[in-house]
Structure 1
Amino acid sequence: MKIYRVTPYLTPLVALAAMAALNPRASAAEPTAGHAAAAQTRAANRAEEHGEHGVIDGEAIDQPHTETLPATESAQAGSKGLIGDSHLNLLLRSYTDHLETTGSNTRNASVLGSQLNFESGFTTGAIGLGADAGLFSAFKLNGGNGAGNMVHVGPDGGGSNQPAWTYFGLYDVKARASNTVLKYGAQIVHNPFLEPHDNRALPPTFLGTTLSSSDIAGLNLVAGSFTKTQPRGQTHLQPLNTAYGGTQFKRFSYLGGDYTYSPDTKFALYASRAENVWDQYYSAFSHSIGDASAIRWTGQLNYYATRNQGSSLQGAINANAYSVALSAQHKAHTVMLAYQKIQGKQFFDYVGEGAGDFLSNSMNVDYNAPGEQSLQLRHTIDLGSYGLPGFKIMSWLVQGWGADGSATAANYADPASSQHGLYWKNGAPVRGKHWEIGMIPTYVIQGGKLKGSSINLTLMHHHATSHYSDPSNNIYRLVMNMPMNIF
């Protein structure tokens, strides 16, 4: 599981502000020489595209994805109308990043982002109607060729010299009956497959339909189906693809739910389909005992199962991935030990532009190579207990070993094959070990006109052997968020 999930029943804009504060390939059907070149580029940029998941995403099932009201209380019955319950929020974000990657150019980028989000209420009556819209804008202070989606990316892959860009990142129409909401449009969703990969000046969104229901106390049910994504750094909708395999597909659908049995015990169960690529299933469980004034123990389990589906555009897939974690909290201090294992001959993969990896050890890198095992030690301190409210520091160390992609690499020995750049590194099949160390101090202003604004500093170092898939790198990142409620 991951850390610091925000409560997603906040408006999407405010939720993204809180999240950021705490916190690549063509179809495999017809391999070409062009695929090989693209694969090599994506492999070089993997730390940029897939990194920092754990330090951005939250606990997989630590909080419900939408507000769970008592079963007898209907949100629609209490509607104040389309305008009466409407909100307009603005999030300003200053985003500065410095990345040093072994064997690649140093990357620097500095971008000012803004998200102006209007969220309407619902009309009164048994079924309420409404609409939402979000205007995303960014202004580049620094960064050019090599900065990737840290800055602007045009439809042809260029466009990095564009100084500013604006587009509608969010837009939807919606209907509500009781505590069940149906939406269609470009959305930000929170689930174990499409958690927003919000590690840039502006977040990605997905185009499709969602249904969520919290009519049963403690139970939140969700379903969705998406056909396009609005990627980070881009201003036009793009086809869906798999994050590591880079395989394009037409539709992604999911259903599932979270159940809070008690404040100490939570369950989650989900299923999804990337059309003609895979079926993927997710389950999670957490349980806590004790009191933080002495010691509060929390055990967590996350599990993913992935199987190829339909035309199997990404080849045969038979992979299981799981993590188990035990944490102990004593007053301001929390220490966690987590073990993670990838079972199978393929990388554990998920949907591109999402951070759909709720495994415990997905931090700077994902520790998701075939056969890989990893162990993490993490410490978090809340300095509010020491007279510094709003100030937290998280530190961690992860060691990964046992990666071996040779069995699948044999299928992609030809450099022109679609996944050669994923399963081959420096002329050999992916294998080896690696480790990382990181620290994230975060301060959230507790009062005054700037209440809720945050400053987040990320310091991470990753070291890998020559044939591991992710290169050695250093990341230094400063993010400042200023959320404002206009009405």
Structure 2
Amino acid sequence: MTTPNRARCFGPHTLFALFGLTCGASGTASADFIDGSRASLELRNFYFNRDFRQDGAAQSKAEEWAQGFLLRYESGFTEGPVGVGVDALGLLGVKLDSSPDRTGTGLLQSDRERPNRAQDEYGELGLTAKLRASSSLLKIGTLQPKLPVALSNDSRLLPQTFRGAWLSSTEVKDLTLDLGRFDRVNLRNSSDNEAMQVFNGGARNIVLGRNKTSDALDFAGASYKWTPALTTAYHYGGLDGIYRQHYLTLGHSLDLGDAGSIKSDLRWARSLDDGGSNVDNRALGAMFTYKRGPHALGMGYQHMAGDTGFAYVSGADGYLVNLVQINDFGNADERSWQARYDFDFAALGIPGLTFMTRYLSGDNVQVTGRTEEGKEWERDTDIAYVVPNGPLKNLGIKWRNASVRSNFGPDIDENRLIVTYTLPLW
């Protein structure tokens, strides 16, 4: 089951109608289908303010406020050797504040007739059919992958989704296999399923041939857990006619007893053209995090090499250790490092309150048409609180602050205030 190329927009009445339909459908299903089902409604209130600080900026700031509704339904499976189930994802974004001179936050969908104005509301209904046999699961329809070669973006009001087929298998103990194809992507501020493109912002220096879009992202991967503390993985992803990518990852956790622990995250990717671009990139990333009690200190390094920057599907996330709030430091030949500190206030008697700050610096960027090397830095701070118990349990409030300075891109000061609450329906 797949959604059409253009997802249907709907208002609040349709959102609740969807909930009623899924409830009614469950009534005629098998006991396992019903007993294994679950549903939730997430409310996401998002304020976004981005000030452009560089001289001559075409727009002084992007500032919008919106309310999101995310209705998720996951059925169980019917009885028998092949279990059948269905998932549904209902998304609705409602404008609370915007104006033509402040659009472009990524929270709201642009009006088709007046691109500089945000629509009052937008939404979509995503359906996914699923088949389970033994320890293998096939999903067809709307998907939110978390794979190195296809990483769904959920950093705004509504999440980005892919459309396609995805087979995941855990038949062999400690081994996870993935295989599939996506043919469309639905961006986080859109209600349309669209052909996929390669991200080419910043100083990627990617040159495309005749075809600017692709109808197929093929992927395959294997992840093996050697011990509870050590996992390695290989993934392949190919955006047909644009690029091919090979990705190796290693994750390890070293327990130091009373002295704490050290987490290691190593990533290496090789991206090549697929006949319709000049993509040529080698990406190396390493992140090491020392944790003791409520404190965590992380240090990261990332190095790009080759003719272009790192390649991934536009609108998704690139699986890079230095992908942070605004930048990913994946430009052509860029070298970057990161220092990060986290603190959990539960140690001071305030469970649910956390703090994070980090600083990243990148240089050696090869900017087309310039002899001077590109340089940039970013500083991020997050303060988050999740109510741990009581009638408002799971209510979350997060403030995200960031500053970016660059000699080849925009200078940005940014604030995001996000309030979330998830209500389990059953």
Match of 1:184 in 2: 140
2:108 equivalent to 1:128 = no
CA distance in 2, matches of 1:187, 1:208: 7
Query: Which TM-score applies when normalising by structure 2?
Result: 0.85
Match of 1:288 in 2: 253
Matching residue's letter, 2:297: V
When residues 430 and 447 of structure 1 are mapped into structure 2, their CA distance, relative to the original with a 3 A threshold, is: farther
When residues 343 and 295 of structure 1 are mapped into structure 2, their CA distance, relative to the original with a 3 A threshold, is: same
2:169 equivalent to 1:213 = yes
Match of 2:412 in 1: 473
CA distance in 2, matches of 1:165, 1:340: 38
SS in structure 2 at match of 1:197:
coil
CA distance in 2, matches of 1:297, 1:161: 46
When residues 134 and 367 of structure 1 are mapped into structure 2, their CA distance, relative to the original with a 3 A threshold, is: same
SS in structure 2 at match of 1:81:
helix
Asked if the contact 1:155/1:236 (under 8 Å) is kept, the reply is no
Match of 1:438 in 2: 380
Segment of structure 1 superposing worse, 157-166 or 348-357: 157-166
2:285 equivalent to 1:323 = yes
When residues 160 and 213 of structure 1 are mapped into structure 2, their CA distance, relative to the original with a 3 A threshold, is: farther
Alignment of 1:339-358 (within 5 A): 339-358=301-320
Q: 1:237 aligns with which of 190, 193, 200?
A: 193
Match of 1:297 in 2: 262
Matching residue's letter, 1:267: T
CA distance in 2, matches of 1:396, 1:99: 19
How many pairs does the alignment contain?
A: 382
Match of 1:162 in 2: 119
* Larger strand proportion of the pair: 2
Q: 1:96 aligns with which of 25, 47, 72?
A: 47
CA distance in 2, matches of 1:361, 1:377: 13
Matching residue's letter, 2:357: S
Identify the structure with bigger relative contact order (alpha carbons < 8 Å, sequence gap 6+).
1
CA distance in 2, matches of 1:263, 1:156: 54
Query: Which TM-score applies when normalising by structure 1?
Result: 0.75
Asked if the contact 1:361/1:374 (under 8 Å) is kept, the reply is no
Q: How far did residue 165 of structure 1 move?
A: 2.1
Q: 1:144 aligns with which of 96, 99, 103?
A: 99
CA RMSD of aligned residues (A): 1.9
2:389 equivalent to 1:485 = no
SS in structure 2 at match of 1:301:
strand
SS in structure 2 at match of 1:367:
coil
Deviations 1:449-475 (A, max 9, x none): 33222111100001112xx2x311011
Asked if the contact 1:322/1:359 (under 8 Å) is kept, the reply is no
Q: 2:395 aligns with which of 425, 449, 453?
A: 453
When residues 369 and 156 of structure 1 are mapped into structure 2, their CA distance, relative to the original with a 3 A threshold, is: farther
Match of 1:224 in 2: 180
For structure 1, list consecutive stretches of 5 or more residues without a partner in the other structure. Answer: 1-78, 410-423
Q: How far did residue 361 of structure 1 move?
A: 4.9
When residues 393 and 364 of structure 1 are mapped into structure 2, their CA distance, relative to the original with a 3 A threshold, is: same
Q: 2:67 aligns with which of 112, 129, 132?
A: 112
Q: How far did residue 240 of structure 1 move?
A: 0.9
Match of 1:49 in 2: none
Match of 2:341 in 1: 379
Over the matched positions of the two proteins, sequence identity in percent amounts to 23
Match of 1:87 in 2: 38
CA distance in 2, matches of 1:404, 1:390: 43
Matching residue's letter, 2:244: D
Deviations 1:113-136 (A, max 9, x none): 001111111101110001111111
Alignment of 1:48-67 (within 5 A): none
Asked if the contact 1:151/1:160 (under 8 Å) is kept, the reply is no
Matching residue's letter, 1:349: A
For structure 2, list consecutive stretches of 5 or more residues without a partner in the other structure. Answer: 1-29, 201-205
SS in structure 2 at match of 1:100:
strand
Deviations 1:337-372 (A, max 9, x none): 111100112121210121132334544211111111
Matching residue's letter, 1:298: K
Q: How far did residue 374 of structure 1 move?
A: 0.6
